[in-house]
Structure 1
Amino acid sequence: MYSLRFSIYLIPIILTIIANNLVYSATAKAEVKFGTVKSPQTKFFQAQLLVQELSKVRTPIIQFSKDTYPEVNLPDITSGQIQVQENQYLTIITLPADLLFDSNKDTIRPDAKKILRQVSQAINNHYPNTWLQILGHTDSKGSKDNNLKLSEQWVAAVQKWLSEKGGIDMSLISKEGYGEAQPVAANQKSDSSDNPVGRQKNRRIEIVIQKVANHQV
């Protein structure tokens, strides 16, 4: 099952690379034909637009098993509450949403800035100019619509912080909120009573760094 999940997630990465090659090829032909020269940043922006269109038609199943993505240590990240997993294709940085946000809020707390600085330093030091996705997940408390909206607000806030204060190019960051759709633990116990420990695990932000789609600009 884990290999299936990995294959599902790897497909859009491959499509990303193909999309970029198509855009770059088409741009190069146009430059020869019309005698114009576009900057690498313009080419990169065009590629990003095509990648965004491709991303609209996929719904990846994202559960990062430790068997497929072993835990690793990044020296920049000292908080024991942040989990880092990695294989040759992806690096996943998982932050409990409770570290960043108050309950049912989408404003990053002042004390969370230290955590985000560690994350941004790790990304800048180890994965410069690399595409990444910010994924937001909630527990099942409340309505599905509200949970989806909250997860979207979370990832937007993290994206804005990493771009404006973490020194990461906004064009390299995509985001997606999944609400309660992808739990990693049970929100309820077997007797249908509340499972606060499980719900806490489900409230999380995952930063997925796509190492095989690394493009220097």
Structure 2
Amino acid sequence: MSRHFTRLTPEYFESMFQGTEDPWNLETSAYEKAKHDHTVRMLGSGEYRHAFEVGCARGMLTCLLAPAVQSLLAIDVSGTALRAARKRCAFYKHVMFANMQFPAQAPESDFDLIVLSEVVYYWDDTDIRTAAAWVADHLLPGGVIILVHWLGETDYPQSGDEAVDKLQDALTGCVRIERAERCGEYRLDVWRRTP
């Protein structure tokens, strides 16, 4: 399997979501459900005012995050996925959606929770540095980043471990590691913004 050297394009994801309703079995897989539940448990009992989810896909994790936050901006590069996510999360009036290719496109707001679930390994090294610079400017002091990445072999620009390690290196001095768990096929990392 040969690796992509540059970020995966919006067309890559749009074709995935147009090709099948659930390309990664996010809606039907027991593995995905357990991983999403684990992600939400890592939020703890803290109250988050402004949350940002990158790569919301069809909104499975978004619906689980929504009750734990006061406002949530969920983005994806696929319009097809976003239509499904909006429908799934219609009950939650405090959840907003946008079609964005992060980190090239990014909100100007500040957040106290950023969720990067299964996305950083789609980025090339330049994207990781760009994302880190944005996080440094837009994650509030004491704010939390949750990262979740599959550890299997892919053709993405980064492996799960490379993605997390490179983003951590780019954020040296900005965040401290609170949790770093390896859970079978995936890793889950929780970082907190230093004051």
**TM-score, length of structure 2 as denominator length:** 0.37
Greater Rg, structure 1 or structure 2?
1
Higher relative contact order (CA 8 A, sep 6+): 1
TM-score (norm 1): 0.34
Larger helix share, 1 or 2: 1
